């Protein structure tokens, strides 16, 4: 008689530093199956959202409590640099060896980033080959973060007694989260638009299968939509947001006037996403985007997603990063994870725990 031992590998804690909330998720792999070890979320105080120093102080104080009380294992973590503090740029270069490509990318970025490149962490992803004017070249996605921002988060982690094993950006975390969805051959060739709808920004990510081919951060989110509706309706943005949330929770009709009041902002937002898709089509004309997957905290607003999807003329769905993950050990409404509905807000935190890494913290 022999005993079959259960093999388990606990992954780092993924920490998604969103504008409105911080989310933590930790996964493990046991006998080939992914399992959610722990999950926790905390609202970001309003006073911290536009004050970097207060935000870091809040995180240094709050993260240890969440790690200790919510069942997380160990202190290793992967942190996502907030969208507003990272820079994403597409550049086109000749086909070059890797070392020469890195130097060319640096040269192409001169004057285009809001910080000194000599004091920045810069990484790049080759999206694919191009043939502009009959000449072969490369489409390259450049991701950059000012080094002082990286140091600020490392300092915060030391105060919180956390071990940051790497830092990442949202596009890479999103792709890592959904990569397992593209294991079938027919899925590995599908082109998908991921729209991560946040309070302050919207991430536009296009993937060919599990390969990142386009990324852009739009500095427009639900906060701007709420403000636009508030002006039309004579309400405060907080009142509009509360009414939207109530409509989302009850799945009730009657909130159409809210979306009608933000129509101009929705049109502008849809046009920005359309411009992203046009750029993608100019690079990969033979591989059109087939569908849209909505993610982020605002993706549970079905009316908002439907209106955007109609403007994009794409089949769309609300993404659920926990579909193929056993969530029993760490789910429940009290933890912010209600499995009676999709959980699009957890895509980045889950992707971080799964191991997406733009740059090593060291």
Q: What burial letters (b/e) apply to 109-148, b meaning 16+ CB within 10 Å?
A: beeebeeeeeebbbbbbbbeebeeeeeeebbbbbbbbbee
Q: State the Rg of the chain over Cα.
A: 21
3-state secondary structure of 63: helix
pLDDT the model gives residue 256: 86
**CATH class of this structure's domain 8-360:** alpha beta
Please tell me the predicted confidence (pLDDT) of residue 331.
Answer: 58
Kindly report which listed range (47-56, 153-162, 166-175, 254-263) carries the lowest average pLDDT score.
254-263
Distance, CA of 114 to chain centre: 21
Residue 350 in contact with residue 177, Cβ under 8 Å? yes
314 — pLDDT class (breaks 50, 70, 90): very high
Tokens of 348: 């980045």
- Looking at residue 67, its pLDDT comes to 95
**How much is the pTM?**
0.90
**Span 69-90, pLDDT tens digits:** 999 999 999 999 988 899 999 9
pLDDT tens for residues 137-174? 999 999 999 999 999 999 999 999 999 999 999 999 99
For residue 50, name the pLDDT band (cuts at 50, 70, 90).
Answer: confident
Look at residues 110, 84, 82, 107 and name the one whose alpha carbon lies nearest to residue 94: 107
Instruction: Choose between 2 and 111: higher pLDDT.
Output: 111
Cα dist. 352→23, 146, 241, 306, 310 in Å? 11, 20, 28, 28, 31
């Amino acid at each position: 008689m022999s005993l079959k031992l259960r093999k388990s590998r606990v992954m780092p804690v993924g920490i998604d530093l969103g504008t409105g909330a911080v989310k933590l998720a930790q996964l493990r792999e046991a006998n080939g199956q992914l399992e959610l070890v722990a999950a926790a979320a905390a609202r970001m105080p309003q006073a911290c959202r536009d004050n970097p120093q207060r935000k870091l102080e809040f995180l240094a104080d709050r993260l240890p409590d969440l790690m200790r009380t919510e069942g997380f294992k160990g202190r290793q973590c992967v942190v996502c640099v907030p969208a507003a503090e990272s820079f994403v740029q597409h550049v086109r270069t000749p086909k070059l060896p890797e070392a020469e490509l890195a130097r060319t990318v640096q040269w192409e970025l001169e004057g285009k980033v809001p910080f000194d490149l000599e004091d920045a962490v810069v990484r790049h992803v080759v999206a694919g080959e191009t043939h502009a004017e009959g000449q072969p070249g490369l489409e390259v996605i450049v991701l950059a973060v000012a080094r002082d921002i990286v140091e600020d988060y490392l300092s915060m982690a030391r105060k919180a007694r956390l071990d940051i094993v790497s830092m990442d950006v949202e596009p890479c975390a999103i792709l890592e989260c959904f990569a397992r969805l593209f294991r079938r051959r027919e899925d590995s060739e599908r082109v998908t638009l991921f729209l991560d709808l946040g309070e302050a920004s919207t991430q536009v990510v296009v993937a060919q299968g599990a390969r990142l081919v386009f990324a852009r951060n739009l500095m427009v989110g639900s906060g701007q939509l709420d403000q636009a509706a508030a002006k039309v309706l004579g309400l405060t943005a907080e009142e509009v947001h509360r009414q939207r949330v109530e409509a989302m929770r009850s799945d009730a009709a009657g909130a159409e006037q809210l979306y009608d009041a933000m129509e101009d902002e929705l049109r502008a937002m849809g046009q920005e996403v359309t411009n992203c898709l046009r750029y993608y089509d100019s690079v990969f004309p033979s591989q059109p985007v087939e569908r849209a997957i909505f993610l982020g905290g605002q993706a549970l607003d079905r009316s908002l997603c439907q209106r955007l999807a109609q403007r994009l003329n794409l089949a769309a769905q609300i993404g659920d990063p926990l579909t193929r993950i056993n969530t029993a050990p760490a789910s429940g409404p009290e933890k912010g994870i209600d499995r009676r509905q999709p959980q699009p807000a957890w895509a980045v935190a889950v992707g971080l725990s799964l191991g997406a890494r733009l740059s090593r913290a060291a």
